[in-house]
Amino acid sequence: MMISEALLEKLSDIINRDPVSNRVPSPSEPTPTEIEQLRLKSQAQWVSAIASLEILLLSYLDKTPSDTPNPQGLILSAPTPILCHPDLTHAVWSGIFTLQLSSQSWQQFQLPGFSESPCSNHKPKITEFPVSPQDPLATEQFCLIFTPQFSLLMVLGEDSLGLPAFQFSFDPDVVYQGWLGLRSRLSLVNHPQLPYVEDLVKQLTPAIPSYQVVTEFSRLLLHYFPQISPILARKYRHNQDLENIEHQTVSSTKNAFTHSTVEESTDVALLQALSHEIRTPLTSIRTMTRLLLRNKELDPKMMRLLENIDQECSEQINRMELIFRATELKSKAHHNSSVELVRTSLDSLFHQSIPRWKRQAQRRNVNLEVGLPKKLPQVVSDPGMLDQVLSGLIEKCTRSLSGGGEIKVQVSTAGHQLKVQFQTESYRQHNPFKALGQLLLLQPETGSVSLNLDVTKNLFNRLGGKLIVRQRSQQGEIFTIFLPLT
C-alpha cells in the first residue's frame, strides 16, 4: 500500500507540502499567456540551477580519478543526466529515471564488462532506472543529490495550483521524502542496483547543511539566471510593439533599436537554455560510449563505430559550449568582465588540435592542409577558448564544403602579431548560410547551425585578436586571424 501511494505522488507534491519551499500563489486566475510566461521562467531557473549546482559541487568535491570505486556523491535525475563537467561525472554516481515501455527494460541497458553486484568495484557511474508512462513522475524534470556536505532536491514541475514552477529544497527531511518516493519505484521493479543506491544514501546523507552552502547556491542561482529573462523580454517586446503602433511616426528609429536589442536578449537566454539541454544528453551518450570502449572483447568494427560516436559527441558538445560561451559574453553588461588573457603556447595547441581537425574534415570529404613554421611563438590569449573558437571555425568551414573541398591553413608572423589564415575552396557551388535570429547562421542544405560572423569576430576581439573575412568567389572564403605576440 505504501508503494502504490508513493507512485501516485510527484516530487513537486513533496516540495509543495513544505511550508518553507511552497510559495504563496497569486490570487488571480492566470491567463494562457501568463502560464506560458511562467513555464519559460521556470525553465530558465532550472538551467540556472544546474549551472549553479555544478559550480557548487566543484568547490566541495575532490577531483577523483575515473577508476575510484567509492563515489563522493549520488545524483538521481530525470529524464537525462544533469552533470556535464568531467571531474564531476567521475566523482559522482548517477542514476537516470527514463520512460520505459516495460518495467523490466533495464535489463536491455546493462553495459558489457560490468557486474551487477552491489559489491563490484567496477560499476558504471551512470545507470538507467525505468519509469512507467503512467507514473506521474514521467511528467517532470528533477534532480536529487546527496553529498557529505549537503543534500538537495530540485524539481521543474508544478506548484500547489498546478502552475509551472521551479522549486528546490535543502531540507534533509524533504530530500529524504523525495528519495523514498524514488526508492519505492525501484523496489517495485526489484531493480538489482537498489541495495547499492541505498548504501550510498546511508553513507552520504548529511545533517542540515551550513548556511554558507545555501547562500552560495542562491548567489550562483542569481548569477547564472539570464540578465533579461525570456518572460521579461517577451513582455517588454510586446509593450514596445504596441507603443510602435501608437507612436510610429514619432520614434520609429528608437523603437526599432529597442526591439532589436530585446529580441537579441531573448535569443541569448533561449540559446543558453538550449545549449545546455543539448550538451546534457550528448555528454551522457559519450560517457556510456567510453564505458563500452573499455570492453576489450568488442570486435574492431564495433570499436571504430563507438570511436566515431565518441568523436561526434565531443565535437557537438564543444560546439554547444562555444555557443553558450559566446551568448554568455554577449549578455555581459560590461565587456571587461569575461576573458583572462595569458601567455599561450601555440605549439602544444596546434599539435593537439590538428589531428582532430583533419578527422573532422575527412568525415565530410574535405581535405585539410596545415602549414606551420618550424618554431611557433607564444601569443597573449585564453588557450581553452582559443582552441574552441578555432575548432568552431574549422567546423563552419567543413560544413560549408559538404560537397567536398579543401581548406588550407597557413600560420606565419606579421610584425608583432601572429597571422593564421584559413582559405576554403569548394569543389562544388559554395553552400550559403542564412541568418537565424540575432546570433546564429543556418545552412539550409545541411541543417548546420553556427555562430554568425559578428559574434565570431567579437569572440576573437575578447581573445585579444582580430578576425577579417574576405569572400574570394562563390567557391570559397578567406578567414584571417591576427593574435598579439608576447
Domains of the chain, residue spans = 2-224, 230-274+292-331, 342-484
Cα separation, 367 vs 401, whole angstroms:
10
Lookup result for grid cell 574570394: 472
The correct CATH number of 342-484 out of 3.30.429.10, 3.30.565.10, 3.40.50.300, 3.60.20.10 is: 3.30.565.10
Longest distance between any two alpha carbons in the chain, whole Å: 79
32-45 b/e (C-beta count within 10 Å ≥ 16 → b) = eeeeebbbbbbbbb
Cα separation, 192 vs 114, whole angstroms:
13
Look at residue 408 in the predicted model and tell me its pLDDT: 92
Reported as half-sphere exposure (CB side, CA atoms, 13 A), residue 429 has a value of 3
Q: Please give the chain's pLDDT, 486 residues, in tens.
A: 344 445 568 888 888 886 555 444 444 577 777 787 788 888 888 888 888 898 899 888 876 454 556 788 999 998 888 887 777 877 889 999 987 644 444 444 443 333 333 333 434 457 888 888 788 888 889 999 999 889 999 999 888 888 889 999 988 889 999 999 999 999 988 889 999 999 999 988 766 788 788 888 888 887 777 543 444 344 334 433 433 433 332 333 334 333 344 445 556 667 767 777 777 778 778 877 877 887 878 888 898 898 888 888 888 888 888 887 787 777 654 444 456 788 888 888 888 889 888 888 888 888 999 999 888 888 888 888 888 889 888 888 888 776 678 999 999 988 889 999 999 887 766 566 778 777 888 777 666 778 888 888 888 888 888 999 887 666 678 899 999 988
Look at residue 147 in the predicted model and tell me its pLDDT: 92
Lookup result for grid cell 552491489: 118
DSSP secondary-structure letter at 417? E
**Is the alpha carbon torsion for 26, 31, 35, 40 positive or negative?**
negative
Look at residue 178 in the predicted model and tell me its pLDDT: 93
The CA-based angle 81-271-55, given to 5 degrees, is 50
Look at residue 261 in the predicted model and tell me its pLDDT: 43
> What is the residue-wise DSSP string for 26-82?
PSSPPPHHHHHHHHHHHHHHHHHHHHHHHHHHHHHS----TT-SS-SEEEEEESS--
Cα separation, 217 vs 220, whole angstroms:
5
Report CA 205 to chain centroid distance, whole Å. 28
Residues contacting residue 35 through CB under 8 Å, at least 6 positions apart: 163, 164
Look at residue 116 in the predicted model and tell me its pLDDT: 39
The CA-based angle 429-431-434, given to 5 degrees, is 145
Look at residue 482 in the predicted model and tell me its pLDDT: 93
Residues contacting residue 454 through CB under 8 Å, at least 6 positions apart: none
